[in-house]
Structure 1
Amino acid sequence: MLPPIMVYTYSFTAATPNFRCRNPSLQSIDKYNQTFDSLFNEDYRPTSEQCLLHQKFLSLKECQRCFLRSSLINSTLQTCDDYVFDRTYYKTTLIEEWNMVCDRVSYRSWVQMIFFVGYMVGSILFGILADKYGRRPIMSISFLLMTLSSLLCTFGPQKSLGFWPSYVIFVLARFLIACSTRGISVSGFVLGSEIVGPEKRLLTGIVIEYFFAFGQMILLIFAYFIRTWRTLTWAISLFTYPYLFFYCILPESPRWLISKGRFDEGEQVLRKIAKMNGYEFDTNAFEQLKQEQIEIMSQEKNKEGVKSLFQSKIMTVISINLFFQWLVQNLVFYGVSQNTGSWDFDPYTSFGVSAFVELLGYIVVHSILDRVGRKVPYCTFAIMFSFVSFLILPVQYLMEKDGQNQKIIMNIINGTLKFLASSSYAIIYIYANELFPTNVRNTGMGICSMVARIGAIIGTFSNDNLTRLWIHFPVLLYGCASLIAALLALMFPETLHQPLPQSVADVEQMNFMKLESKKSKRIVTHEDENRYERDEMIRF
C-alpha cells in the first residue's frame, strides 16, 4: 500500500486549485470569491479576443487566469506575478506556497518528473541488488529509506530558507522516496510470485494490485481530513513506521536461494511453507531440482546479469518488447490517473471514483486471466483503450459545448479509460514476471520498471503542459501509443499454466510468435512434467 500512497500524495500536496491574478487595485484584501472575482473580471480579465490575438497557443481559460489586461481599449496583456487561490477544497498547497502556476508550472512538473527518475534509478539499482543479495534485505532497506526521506520531505522545506533551498530539498526527498518505492514494489512482487506455484501466481500478482488501489483509498481518507500539505505529508510518513519491522516477518524467496546454490536455506523455507499449508515435503523432487540447478549454474550461458536478457534473438526481442510495453502502460496509466482534474467532480470524489474503477479493473482481470490467458486480454484492453480515447473527438466537436449530456458522456469515457488502463497495467506486470527467467527476473523487472518511468515522465509533462493547449490532448496521445503496444504484444508467447522459466533456455522453448518448426518446436517430455510437479512444491 505504501508505493501508491507515496506516488499520489503529490496529487494533493501540490494540487492546483482554481486561481486568477491578484487584483492590482485590491492588492491587500483580494480573495477568490464571487464578489472579488466580479470586480476583477470587470477591470482586468482579458477578453477572448485579446487572448486569441496575443496568446493563441494557450486555451482561453489558461490565458484569462494568467494574464491581466491593461484596458478594454488597449489590447496589451500583462503577465501577473501574484495570484489568489480558491480555498474551497484546500487550505494550503505547494502550488500556492511556491506559485507553481502559469509560466512557473514547470516547477511542479519537474518535482514529479524527477520523482519518476527516482523510480528509474531505484528500479534498476534495487532490482540488481535484489538479484544479488536477496529480495528480503533489499525490501527492508527500502522501508527504512522511505521513512527517512518522508520525514525530510515534511520538515526540509521551510519559508525561512527561501524558494530554491526548500525546492531542492523537497525534490531530493521525493527522489529518495521514489527509489524506495521501487525496492518495495519490484522486490515484493517478485518475492510473492516466486514463493508460490503456477496455480497461485495470478492470485499473488493481483492481490498486490488490489492493495495498490487500497493504498489510494487510504490516502484519500488522509487527504480529505488533512488539507494542508505539510501536515498531510507528516501524517503519511507516520504510516511507514510499522513496515520497519517487516524484516522479522518476511521469508526469503526459495527460488532465489536455489538459483544461488543456497540449497539448505531454500529447503528450509520450502519445508516451512509445506508444513504451514498441510503438504508433505517431496524430498526426491527437491533433489532433482537441486541437481538441475547445479547443472544450470555450471553453464556459462546461464550466468545471471543484464547480458542474459540479450543472450539470444528470442530473449532480446522479448526483453525489448517488454520494455516498450511497460513504457506505454505507465504513460497511459499514470497519465490517466494524474488527469482526474478533467472529471466533472470535486477533486476528492474524482480521486475516489478513479481508485474504485481501478479496483474494479483488477477484479475483472483476476476473474478472467486464468480462464483465457494473458495475451488476449492484454491486447484487447489496450486496443479498447485506444478506441475509447478517440471517441473524445466526436464528443467534443459534435455535442453541445459544456452541455449536460457532454459532461455525462465525458465522465463515462474518463471512467472507462481508467478501467482499461488499470486492467492492461495489471496484466503486463504479471505477464513480464512470467517471461523473465529466475536468475535475472528481478533485474528484468527492474529494467522494465526503469524504462517505464520514461512513460510516466512523458505523461506528467503532457498533463501539466499539453493540457494548457487543450485539456484532452494528452489522452489522444495515450490512445495512439496504446494501439501500437497492443499490436507489438501479439508476438508474445502465452504463459497460462506454465511453470516459471528458470533459465534463458526455458524462455526460448516457449511458443514465441507461434513460429514453430520441427527444429524449434517444444515437445513436452517427462522431464518437463517433473519440473512442473516440482514447481508445485512451492505453494500457499
Structure 2
Amino acid sequence: MSNVDRLMESVGEFGPFQKKIGTVGSLPLALFAFVLVSVVFLGHTPDHWCRTPESERLRERCGWTEAEVREATVPRATGSASFSRCERLQLDRVECDQPISNTTRSVACDGGWVFDGSRTTTVTEVGSVFFPWFVSGSRAPRCFPRFGRKSCFIATMLGVGLLGIGAMLSPSYPVLLLFRFLQGFCGKGAMSTAFILVLEFFGSRNRKFVSMMNRTFYSAGMVILPMLAYAVSSWRTLQLVMSLPCILFVSYYWLIPESPRWLFSRNRTAEAMKVTAEIAKCNGTSLPQNLPEITLLGENKEAPPVSTMDLFTAPTIRKNTLILIYAWFTSTVVFQGLVLRLGIVGGNLFLDFLISAVVELPTGLIFYLLVDRVGRRSLMAIANLTGGVACLAVPFVPAEYSFLKKLTAIIGRLAIVIGIETLNFANAEMYPTPLRNVGVSVCSSASDFGAIVAPFLLYRLATIWKELPLLLYGVMSVLYSGLVMMLPEMRGVALPATMEDVENLESEQCLSHTHTHTVDHTCS
C-alpha cells in the first residue's frame, strides 16, 4: 500500500466528508442527462402533413380553419387514422359548401409540409433534421494533468451552460449544430471530470458509492426530462431551462477541494496535506504522526507528461484499453438501439421515454448491492450475458405474447444499464493516477462513435426484418461478456498510482490464483 493510500485510510475513507462530496459531486449528473439525451425532444419531428397550393385560398375564401383545410386536402395514411405525410389530394376545384370526393386523386408532396403548431422543435424552426449526436469529450480532460480535476470540471460546466444558451439563440441550423457540437464536447468532459474528482476521495471498499450516486442522479434527470419537455412547448425555452443551471456549478470552486491524489501526483505536497487535514477534521479523525513524509522527486520537478499513446505501450494497459473500448462501443450501440427501437413500434414519445427512465431508476442501487459481492468483471459479464440472451430471445417470442415480449426487452435493457454503470466504475479503477483521466476519456469516447453508429444499424437492419437488430445486439453483448473476463479484478484493490502498479497487478493476481489452484496455465 502506498503512503498516499495509508494517509487516506487514516483520515477516513468513507466518513461524513466522503458522503457529502459524493452527493454534492453527483448533482451535475442530472443535468448531464438533459444535455446528452435532450435531443430526443429538441429534435423530435412533430406530426406533419403535406402543404397544398389551395390551403391559403380555402382559408380566405371559405373561412376554414387549419383543421378543416387538412381534412379537405390531405388523405389518411393507409391502414391508419393519422394523416399521410407523403401525399396530398389533387384538387382541381373546391366548393366551400360541398365535401371533397373520396375518389380525388392523391399526388406526392411537392409544396413542403405543415407542422403541428402545438409545440416547436428544431425541425419546425430551423428547417433541418437535428441528429441525436454529440461529439466526444475525449480531449476535454487533457487539462487534468496540468490544471487539476476541479478546475477542469468548473471550466467544462461553465462551457456547457454558456454553449447551451448560445444554442438557444441560434438563428440557423449550422450555428445550432456548432453550439450543440461544442456543448457535447464540454458535457462529456465535465461528466468524466466530476466522476474522477469525487472517486479519488474514496477508498477501494467504498468507491462503489460514487457510481451509485452518479447513476441515481443521472436516472433522476432522465425521469425529469420527459416531464420537463412535455411542460415546455418551445424548444428554445427548453434549451434555456436545461442550460442555465449548469452555470451555478461555478460555485463548486469554493464548495469542493481539489483531489489530494492529484496534488500528490503533481508534487504539490503542502496543498495535498492541507486538503487531507480538512478531510480528517470533517471525519473526526486526525493525521497520523508516524506516517513518512510524502515527497515525489522534488517539489519543483514536474511529473512526466502523459498522452493517449501511453495507453498502448505497456502490455497489460494495452490489453485492458482495447477490451474497454469494445465494451463502451457495444454498450452504447445496444442501449441506444433499444431506446430508438421504441420509435419503430410507435407510441407516445413522452410516456414511452418516462417509462423507460423509471425502469432504469433502481439500477444504481442494484449495482451498489452487487458490485462488491459479485466483483467488477463478473458483474459486467453476467449483466451483458443476461442482456444479450434477452435480445436474442425477444425476436422468437410469439407476437400474441406481447407482455412477455415487452418484459423480456425490459429485463435486457435493465441488465445492459447495470453493465454500463459497472463498466464506468471499473474503467476508472484500471488506470494509474496520471493516466486515469486519459484512460477513461479515450475508452468512453468509443461510446460516442457507438451513439453515431446505433441509429444506422437499427434502421438499416430493421428494413430487412424488424427484429434483426436485436440479434446483432445479442451477439455483441455475449462477446462482450466473454472479453471482460480477461480484465483484472479490482474488487478490494487500491487505486493504482503508477503504470508499474497496473502491470504488476495482473501478475500478482495470477500468482495468487496459481497458489490457490496449483498451476494456472493462463498466467505466463
Residues 86 and 498 (structure 1), Cα distance of their counterparts in 2 relative to 1, 3 Å cut: same
1:247 and 2:261 matched:
no
Deviation at 1:362, TM superposition (A): 1.9
Q: 2:95 matched to which residue of 1?
A: none
Match of 2:152 among 134, 138, 145: 138
Residues 41 and 390 (structure 1), Cα distance of their counterparts in 2 relative to 1, 3 Å cut: farther
Give 2:500's aligned amino acid: A
2-structure distance, mates of 1:457, 1:82 = 28
Deviation at 1:179, TM superposition (A): 1.4
Residues 517 and 362 (structure 1), Cα distance of their counterparts in 2 relative to 1, 3 Å cut: closer
Residues 349 and 283 (structure 1), Cα distance of their counterparts in 2 relative to 1, 3 Å cut: farther
Q: 1:499 matched to which residue of 2?
A: 494
Give 1:490's aligned amino acid: M
1:278 and 2:280 matched:
no
Partner secondary structure for residue 182 of structure 1: helix
Match of 1:108 among 122, 130, 148: 130
Q: 1:205 matched to which residue of 2?
A: 211
Query: Contact conserved, 2:74 with 2:88, CA < 8 A, in 1?
Result: no
Give 1:246's aligned amino acid: Y
Counterparts of 1:1-80 in structure 2, within 5 Å, are: 1-22=30-51, 26=55, 36=70, 40-41=74-75, 65-67=85-87, 78=108, 80=110
Give 1:10's aligned amino acid: V
Q: 2:332 matched to which residue of 1?
A: 330
Q: 2:382 matched to which residue of 1?
A: 380
2-structure distance, mates of 1:31, 1:390 = 50
1:126 and 2:140 matched:
yes
1-structure distance, mates of 2:512, 2:357 = 46
Q: Which moved more, 1:32-41 or 1:348-357?
A: 32-41
Query: Contact conserved, 1:66 with 1:79, CA < 8 A, in 2?
Result: yes
Residues 425 and 286 (structure 1), Cα distance of their counterparts in 2 relative to 1, 3 Å cut: farther
Partner secondary structure for residue 130 of structure 2: helix
Listed one character per residue, the Cα deviations across residues 420-451 of structure 1 (whole Å, up to 9, x for unaligned) are 22111100000111111111100111111222
Residues 282 and 337 (structure 1), Cα distance of their counterparts in 2 relative to 1, 3 Å cut: farther
Which structure shows the bigger proportion of residues in helix conformation?
1
Listed one character per residue, the Cα deviations across residues 113-155 of structure 1 (whole Å, up to 9, x for unaligned) are 3x2x2xx2x22x2221112220011111112211211111111
Give 1:3's aligned amino acid: F
2-structure distance, mates of 1:218, 1:299 = 45
Q: Which moved more, 1:64-73 or 1:194-203?
A: 64-73
Q: 1:222 matched to which residue of 2?
A: 228
Deviation at 1:41, TM superposition (A): 2.9
Deviation at 1:500, TM superposition (A): 0.6
Q: 1:443 matched to which residue of 2?
A: 438
2-structure distance, mates of 1:139, 1:474 = 37
Deviation at 1:303, TM superposition (A): 6.1
Give 2:158's aligned amino acid: L
1:95 and 2:117 matched:
no
Residues 519 and 366 (structure 1), Cα distance of their counterparts in 2 relative to 1, 3 Å cut: closer
Give 1:21's aligned amino acid: C
Query: Contact conserved, 2:55 with 2:69, CA < 8 A, in 1?
Result: no
Match of 2:113 among 58, 83, 106: 83
Counterparts of 1:377-416 in structure 2, within 5 Å, are: 377-395=379-397, 398-400=398-400, 405-406=401-402, 408-416=403-411
Residues 518 and 330 (structure 1), Cα distance of their counterparts in 2 relative to 1, 3 Å cut: closer
Partner secondary structure for residue 108 of structure 2: strand
Give 1:96's aligned amino acid: T
Partner secondary structure for residue 285 of structure 1: coil
1-structure distance, mates of 2:474, 2:47 = 28
Higher gyration radius (CA) = 2
May I ask how many residue pairs the two structures share in their alignment? 471
Give 1:176's aligned amino acid: L
Partner secondary structure for residue 509 of structure 1: helix
Q: 2:180 matched to which residue of 1?
A: 174
Q: Percent identity?
A: 25
Q: 1:313 matched to which residue of 2?
A: 315
Residues 228 and 298 (structure 1), Cα distance of their counterparts in 2 relative to 1, 3 Å cut: closer
Deviation at 1:474, TM superposition (A): 4.0
Deviation at 1:464, TM superposition (A): 6.2
Query: Contact conserved, 1:509 with 1:520, CA < 8 A, in 2?
Result: no
Deviation at 1:264, TM superposition (A): 1.0
1-structure distance, mates of 2:379, 2:72 = 52
Partner secondary structure for residue 200 of structure 1: coil
Q: 2:474 matched to which residue of 1?
A: 479
Deviation at 1:416, TM superposition (A): 2.3
Q: 1:524 matched to which residue of 2?
A: none
Query: Contact conserved, 1:493 with 1:512, CA < 8 A, in 2?
Result: no
Listed one character per residue, the Cα deviations across residues 147-204 of structure 1 (whole Å, up to 9, x for unaligned) are 21111111122xxxxxxxx011100110111111122111111111111111220001
Residues 309 and 285 (structure 1), Cα distance of their counterparts in 2 relative to 1, 3 Å cut: farther
Query: Contact conserved, 2:74 with 2:89, CA < 8 A, in 1?
Result: no
Query: Contact conserved, 2:157 with 2:249, CA < 8 A, in 1?
Result: yes
Deviation at 1:482, TM superposition (A): 1.8
Partner secondary structure for residue 130 of structure 1: helix
2-structure distance, mates of 1:205, 1:514 = 25
Give 1:329's aligned amino acid: S
Partner secondary structure for residue 65 of structure 1: coil
Query: Contact conserved, 1:343 with 1:411, CA < 8 A, in 2?
Result: no
Q: 2:273 matched to which residue of 1?
A: 267
Give 1:82's aligned amino acid: G
Partner secondary structure for residue 486 of structure 2: coil
Q: 1:155 matched to which residue of 2?
A: 169
Query: Contact conserved, 1:491 with 1:512, CA < 8 A, in 2?
Result: no
Give 1:127's aligned amino acid: P
Report the TM-score when normalising by structure 2.
0.80
Deviation at 1:221, TM superposition (A): 3.3
Give 1:269's aligned amino acid: V
RMSD of Structure 2 on Structure 1 (CA)? 3.6
Partner secondary structure for residue 44 of structure 2: coil
Residues 142 and 39 (structure 1), Cα distance of their counterparts in 2 relative to 1, 3 Å cut: same
Gaps of at least 5 residues in structure 1 are: 49-59, 101-106, 158-165, 522-540
Deviation at 1:206, TM superposition (A): 1.9
Residues 355 and 517 (structure 1), Cα distance of their counterparts in 2 relative to 1, 3 Å cut: closer
Give 2:140's aligned amino acid: F
Query: Contact conserved, 2:49 with 2:83, CA < 8 A, in 1?
Result: no
1-structure distance, mates of 2:469, 2:65 = 32
Gaps of at least 5 residues in structure 2 are: 1-29, 92-101, 517-524
Partner secondary structure for residue 427 of structure 1: helix
Give 1:201's aligned amino acid: R
Query: Contact conserved, 1:362 with 1:422, CA < 8 A, in 2?
Result: no
Residues 487 and 237 (structure 1), Cα distance of their counterparts in 2 relative to 1, 3 Å cut: same
1:350 and 2:379 matched:
no
Residues 512 and 431 (structure 1), Cα distance of their counterparts in 2 relative to 1, 3 Å cut: farther
Q: 2:4 matched to which residue of 1?
A: none
Listed one character per residue, the Cα deviations across residues 341-379 of structure 1 (whole Å, up to 9, x for unaligned) are 356652222122122111222221111111111111111
Residues 393 and 334 (structure 1), Cα distance of their counterparts in 2 relative to 1, 3 Å cut: closer
Partner secondary structure for residue 511 of structure 1: helix
Query: Contact conserved, 1:33 with 1:86, CA < 8 A, in 2?
Result: no
2-structure distance, mates of 1:34, 1:487 = 60
Deviation at 1:328, TM superposition (A): 1.4
Partner secondary structure for residue 446 of structure 2: helix
